[in-house]
Structure 1
Amino acid sequence: MFPPEDALPLRIRDHPRYHEIASGYNLCRNLEWSIQREIDLGKDLEKDLIHCRILGYLFHYFPARDIKPFVREIVTTNGRPRELLQLGEFYYDFFIRSFKSNEGKSPPSSSPLSPHPSDNVAQLIECILQEAPQDRRTAKKHALVRDSFQCPVTKVYDWDAVMCSEEMEMKITCEGAEGGFTQCVHIFLEFTNANITPDSTEFWATYAASVWGVLDRFGYSALREELNGPNIHRLENIVTMEKSLRIHFDRLWIWFTATEEPNTYKLEEIRDWLISRYPNPTYLSIHAACAKIAHVSGAGRYIEKIFRCMADVRALSEGGGSAELLDEAILSSMHAIPV
């Protein structure tokens, strides 16, 4: 069940419009109690409970710059259950699933580097920085340079980089460093804002507008333009990650929470780590909020269950029984952007 009102974050309790915020939060608490009572009587309302909890936990975890538009949406429902649940479904569809990827949807880990070895790391860096990042391959090159050719979390060196530099090869053979296959990881996924222009197809334009419409409600309207088109590959939106760790990140099993020290992040529930100067703390804070909300609302477990069902189903049932699976399959496939 939702925590009591007095457990809301201090930044919320100190808000000048706290009374209105508390009223909106309590509407979600009342709805949760009502749904849970029906579930206890044997009704199957799992999705309704998830949609309700997404709304309630947004009060606790989302790093809102301006929470008033979101609260206004809640309050204007006057507690009407169907309207609240439709709003929760909107956030489920276009917020949490914008960050949560299906395992196996990650693009292949092909080498972005030249196979010809360089005498030293400086020569390799000079060669890489001649090309500005405009796509996934060039973005990974620049991210490798910024991250010292390592996964910032596991500290393993990128095997392709090692094969291109005798200097890095010495770190593996003589200094005991470890190597691994790394991937270019976007904090905001590529499909969320891939070249949205007036000429974009109606489906992509509508879907992207919905994703960013959610962020607009919390005061992040500038991110739409900041990450539009090739800007989605800007280094602030990129992290170099060892392949297996990347799967955990994409599935919201791990997230990075900012600490009071600038550019220092805690790998939630695993261990502390430091990313030197990068990436963008706003992007990471939004991803962290999505991961926490997915976990506490039950949405993460629900999506995993749907994915398992998708893997087991070989054909769609007649009469619309597979409609939900089809909906999830379409949305999850958006994560597999060809490169």
Structure 2
Amino acid sequence: MPLTRKPNPTALHPNPYQHGDEIWEAYNQCLSLEQHEGWNTFAAQLQKDVSEGIMNDLSPRVAARVLGWALRVAPSDEGRNALVREIVGCNDDPELLAGLAHLSMLPTITASDVPPVYNPKGPTPSVSATQSPRIAFQQAAQDLEHLLPKPSITAQDLRQLLLYRDNHSCVFTGAVDLDSARSDNTLIIDLGVRTDTTRVAHIISQSLSENIAGTTPAVCAKFEWAKTAGAIIERFGGFSSRDILSDNVLNSPLNAFTAATAPHEEYDKLDLWLTAVDDGQGGIIPDTYDVQYYWGERLRSSVGIKQRITFKTATVGNTTIPPPHPRLITLHAACAMIAHMSGAAEHLKECFRDTDMISVMTEPNAAYELTRALKTLQLVSPTV
């Protein structure tokens, strides 16, 4: 999507699919649901005690656009086909469609119970100056060779691997990691090179094994396979995250890169995403991406974010540090586009916005703020 066009909440386009095809039927259900402004129009079909919570989360219009735009910009054909089957299986049932939109937000707009991509509470904590290696960079590089073969990679191990692979710089701005510059002044030998505090930026940032909660009994029964975040990503993303990340799960170079604080926060909030670059011959340029910024080209440039980035592969001895996996980057991009085009991004920001709960309890809207905080706690807390 061009940087000059914001993916603002947009009505679903007329059905573009072949009449009679299963995807045509699925998209038609989305179009039908989009015509309703509130769930009260389905009063005869809904049971208040099991439906009220999920219905209040998303309006019919937003739920319809979540599903409709997910069909249009799905990260893979496998994921699109899986979503088609689930929508058709709802048979226009409003509670099931709302529940499916709620679940679909995990891999497609990441506003689900365990949000693995959307992480508005801030980036992965950086390794502090006292934790960062103070040994010579040459010796540090030699030590890296022993990190990747380990059965699990710690946060500190990952930090070292990424700094080496990403040339001790933010991938978005090119600014040199401040702590690295303190350790080796040759990193900023050229005049005008910026430094900044950098962090490990995960593409998928929350556990894939935690259980899903917050849906109604009818939705749980219909979509009984949707028990964990990893299962939902596999269903609608069209790939197994564990096949990509192996036993390292989230702490893998395939799932992370080095980023300065500001662009990292924008990436976590889905306001910044990456799209593959066409090579002009029907293929794509490996590991090269255009940076898409929701707030526009002018602001992107003003905050120093580059228009195009290329991830590198690093080699240390016989060990290779791979670049971020393209399927994870594509999943994140789909999340961002669907979130903004459906209007669910505003729902996410409202759920996760910061509030001083102590002071707000004396305000007239105290009941609303407490309800919102409790709902957000449910979204990010695992079930047992």
User: What TM-score comes out, normalization by structure 2 length?
Assistant: 0.70
Choose which of 285, 297, 312 in structure 2 pairs with 1:276: 312
- Residue 5 (structure 1) shift: 2.0
Match of 1:150 in 2: 169
Closer, same or farther: CA 88–174 of 1 in aligned 2, 3 Å: closer
8 Å CA contact 1:102–1:332 kept in 2: the answer is no
Choose which of 83, 93, 96 in structure 1 pairs with 2:96: 83
SS in 2 for 1:264: strand
| Pairs within 5 Å for 1:3-42 | 3-6=13-16, 19-35=21-37
SS in 1 for 2:207: helix
2:264 is the alignment partner of 1:251:
no
2:82 is the alignment partner of 1:73:
no
| Pairs within 5 Å for 1:222-237 | 222-227=240-245, 229-237=247-255
C-alpha distance in structure 2 between counterparts of 1:26 and 1:333, whole Å: 34
Match of 1:2 in 2: 12
Match of 1:47 in 2: 58
C-alpha distance in structure 2 between counterparts of 1:109 and 1:52, whole Å: 42
Match of 1:308 in 2: 353
Stretches of structure 1 that go unaligned for 5 or more consecutive residues are 197-203, 335-339
Map Cα deviations across residues 139-169 of structure 1 (whole Å, 9 max, x no partner).
Answer: 010011111111122111112222222xxx1
Closer, same or farther: CA 178–206 of 1 in aligned 2, 3 Å: same
8 Å CA contact 1:35–1:45 kept in 2: the answer is no
SS in 2 for 1:273: strand
SS in 2 for 1:266: strand
Match of 2:71 in 1: 59
Closer, same or farther: CA 236–56 of 1 in aligned 2, 3 Å: same
- Residue 82 (structure 1) shift: 2.4
Larger RCO (alpha carbons 8 Å, 6+ apart): 2
- Residue 186 (structure 1) shift: 1.0
SS in 1 for 2:200: strand
Match of 1:211 in 2: 229
C-alpha distance in structure 2 between counterparts of 1:106 and 1:64, whole Å: 28
Q: Which amino acid aligns with 1:35?
A: E
Q: Which amino acid aligns with 2:66?
A: I
Map Cα deviations across residues 57-114 of structure 1 (whole Å, 9 max, x no partner).
Answer: 1011121241322111111222222221121122236751321112346425424532
Q: Which amino acid aligns with 1:307?
A: F
SS in 2 for 1:294: helix
SS in 2 for 1:232: coil
Match of 2:156 in 1: 137
Match of 1:238 in 2: 256
Match of 2:297 in 1: none
2:291 is the alignment partner of 1:267:
yes
Match of 2:4 in 1: none
Closer, same or farther: CA 206–306 of 1 in aligned 2, 3 Å: closer
Identity %: 23
Work out the number of aligned pairs and report it.
306
8 Å CA contact 1:310–1:329 kept in 2: the answer is no
2:199 is the alignment partner of 1:183:
yes
Match of 1:163 in 2: 182
2:377 is the alignment partner of 1:329:
yes
8 Å CA contact 1:129–1:142 kept in 2: the answer is no
8 Å CA contact 1:183–1:242 kept in 2: the answer is yes
- Residue 23 (structure 1) shift: 1.2
- Residue 315 (structure 1) shift: 4.8
Map Cα deviations across residues 229-256 of structure 1 (whole Å, 9 max, x no partner).
Answer: 5332121111100111111111111001
8 Å CA contact 1:54–1:293 kept in 2: the answer is yes
C-alpha distance in structure 2 between counterparts of 1:247 and 1:212, whole Å: 23
Map Cα deviations across residues 218-274 of structure 1 (whole Å, 9 max, x no partner).
Answer: 363422354355332121111100111111111111001112212110101442222
Quick check: 254-263 or 17-26, which moved more? Answer: 17-26
User: What TM-score comes out, normalization by structure 1 length?
Assistant: 0.78
2:143 is the alignment partner of 1:127:
yes
Closer, same or farther: CA 213–27 of 1 in aligned 2, 3 Å: same
